Amino acid sequence: MKIISLFCGCGGMDLGLVKAGHKIIYANDNDKDSIETYKKYFTKKFKISPSHVHLNDVKKEKIKDIPNGDVIVGGFPCQGFSIANTFRKDKRSMERKNNDLYLEMIRIIKGKKPKYFIAENVPGILSLGGYKDKDAKKRKMGRIFTSILSDFQNIGYKVKWQILNAAEFGVPQSRRRVIILGTRKDIKKDFIHPQPTHSIEDDLFLKKTPTLWDAINDLEKIKLGDKKILNHDGSKHKVKFNGYIGNRVTKKNKVSPTIVGRGGGTGGPVIIAHPNGKRRLTVRETARLQAFPDDMFFCGPVSSGYRQIGNAVAWPVAFALGKILKSLN
């Protein structure tokens, strides 16, 4: 199917969809480093035309300038919705910068009328705005999330949502994300969520999810900064274990905690500690925990590399979604 990708970032979602056999016909983001990363990798690896990749504020994109596609995907910016953001409980949260960008996604879906859409966000979005009553709390339907789903339904789509954990799709990281799927109301075959392929625990029917150490142990023999491994350098900030995100003990025999794009109110990236407790993970090690391939170079300064990876969708999740889409074609 032909994919229109909004808020594409460095391309985590798109990588999974392309690997599943779909074609990116339009990609947009307003972050320069992310778009440079995207262009360098996707134009070379998958022969996507550079003219299909746009560095621009989505609010400035005109409907007529976007090609017609079968599917629109978008992980609308989630910093204001994330538990990692200390401002999340602010009563003005819906007024904060970027939190209304889902409306731009709705504007474009309404204008292009694709068969399907995928919207991705953090679990923190579920409780935003509080709950109307006990039943809404039990169903994890906060006021703002309920409003977002209604907005998608009101433009002509059947909507389903579910929390998917990337670890259940072979990613060596616990990464829970809300995945909203939309099917245009005149389409008979509904877009549904994929079933897990992996398990953190031993399971007779599922593959075992690789651990953090499975993902990065071969890099131990390579000197930090060695140009033979792309982006194998990182933060010089000292490790201090205090229980907060980025300052928690990591264990070799477990999956990684969630990689985040930022934290606190300062906008700086939060980098997970290496299991040896002596340093933080490099950009490449962090990329490994998101399942990004080693030949994908993250452009910009080190802090930007961390941020691009932390804001991305783990591509194996997108691949599983892409396989479902292929079955609907």
- Spatial separation of the C-alpha atoms in residues 179 and 121, rounded to whole Å: 7
- Spatial separation of the C-alpha atoms in residues 12 and 312, rounded to whole Å: 5
Q: Which DSSP category does 28 fall into?
A: E
The secondary structure element, H or E, covering residue 119 is strand 116-121
Task: Considering the candidates 8, 10, 78, 299, report the single residue annotated as catalytic.
Answer: 78
Q: Which two tokens stand for residue 9?
A: 């970032």
Put residue 213 in one of left, alpha, beta given phi > 0 → left and psi -120 to 50 → alpha. alpha
Distances from the Cα of 60 to the Cα of 4, 11, 83, 199, angstroms: 16, 21, 29, 42
- Spatial separation of the C-alpha atoms in residues 315 and 311, rounded to whole Å: 12
Q: Which residues make Cβ contacts (< 8 Å) with residue 229, sequence separation at least 6?
A: 219, 222, 284, 294
299 is catalytic: no
Catalytic sites, residue numbers: 78
